[in-house]
Structure 1
Amino acid sequence: MFFNLSVQLKLTNHHSSQRRLASSLGVAVWGGLLVAAWVVSADFAFCQDSNTNSSSVSALKSENGDSGAGFSPMRGNWKAASFGGDGPIYFHKTESGGERIEMYAGDPITGIRWTGKFPKDNYEIRLEARRVEGFDFFAALTFPVADEHCSFVLGGWGGGMVGISSIDGMDASSNQTTQYKEFETNQWYKIRVRVDEMAVTCWIDDEEYAVVPRGDHTLSIRIEMDPSLPLGIANYMTRSELRNIEMRVLNAEAAEVLGVSDVTKKTNESDASDNTSKENKR
């Protein structure tokens, strides 16, 4: 189903340039402005201004260590997606109070779906995933984009294909997001997806792998992934594990879907709940 022997390899060369300032005073002024801008941006409750480029802002926040701010764990509402022929799924509690999800190989697909509240727009979701056994995709994250959906696929079509399925009817093996990456067995990889008003942006280990501008394309999923809707994670004839699944909202409208009026309040309440749980264990 997902195999395609014609693997496309896209390599992106990043070039950097340096500007020379005329005097040491100019250097000091620019340095001060950059520090001030970072401090101001860290104080915002929301993650992006509506007139700002999504990819650039996200990359800047990642470099400044802000990519972790405001995330809340997603636990307790994951259920088997019931693809038919699913492998066993096990939910393990970690020593730190987190959750590790083990999904065995199915015939051909095994997956989970989120049954709790979740926004359709202006959010980020992140997790860690690894392939334990097998040679195909170990994580396909299906997620909403307003009234559409798509899947960010890692390791498909024989083991190394990365991309978004589907864009304008073309799946991850044959559209502008198609890339190849070698994934090591038993190695954890960080996955992050951002859906905002400007674009859908996907990262692996904080490296940007796909950007799809909003409004320029039609997004959809392959029919085989329907059981993942509206939000789910699946593998293909592969045993994989997931951990540290978290999300954050980017504006007040997205927060309202979760039943909170303040993004910061949502995060603080989640942190307080986790701390209380750990104290009770002791």
Structure 2
Amino acid sequence: ISWVLFSSRLGCLGDAGEATAATEGVIRCVGAVLALTLVTMALPRPLLRLFPAPWDAFCHAWDQLFAFAKGHVDRRVAAVAARGPLAEGDTCVTDLLARERVPASSIYGNVTELLLAGVDTVASTLAWSLYELARNPGAQAALHRELAGAVGRLPLLRAVVKETLRLYPVIPANARVVSNSDIRVGDYLVPRQTLITLCHYATSRDSRFFPAPDAFRPERWLRHRDSGDTAGDTAGDTPGDTPGHPPGPRHPFASLPFGLGPRSCVGRRLAELQLHMALAQ
């Protein structure tokens, strides 16, 4: 993820001792942010004022991550300025944002969040995918056959990742604040300034939408006519009709591991690419 963001290798995957102290500090900060996010969200503000240690540690970890990302972004921008225009294939995210004249503060913010989100998310989903494929040798054999004879699209590979994310979403819930005015959702009137939390871990294991919800069944994402989706859009993320597996009531929002809309996961395509390549290899 660091190579994609600012064309730097951090040494995390090399020999022991290759990673610098700064890199090890980033790893610790990522762990601290992930561990403290729910704590700082759940504790009421009066308690945070009485017991500020979690909040202080949370802010310190974010500050360290921002400082680390800023240093790499600044070095990349300076290097590109010294070398002149880059070829199409030599660009990274920092280059693209700078080329679009995005403000420096926004570049720092986006790159830092992508650095954080790119660490645990792909690793977690890859681990669960391998775990479920190991527990389901039939699915593993079918996936191997698809990859061995691959001539283009790989619908089962995509279905394995979707089914893993349905069972084990990296982020189990998401939240939004109704900011401007009251809204009506079905039979409910939601007042403005209301915090709405969607626990998509629960919805993605709801038997009304997914028969045998706790079972690992990648085939539930395959369409009967072509055994795969098209471009990963909302319709393509809806369970399809497969022989021997009657689909439940279709609902495109029953499983939303990447969120939806303008605030959906900015790194979705990159995460999916990494997962598909790693599993295929």
What is the TM-score with the length of structure 1 in the denominator? 0.23
Between 1 and 2, higher relative CO (CA 8 Å, sep ≥ 6) is seen in 1
More helix by share: 2
What is the TM-score with the length of structure 2 in the denominator? 0.23
More strand by share: 1
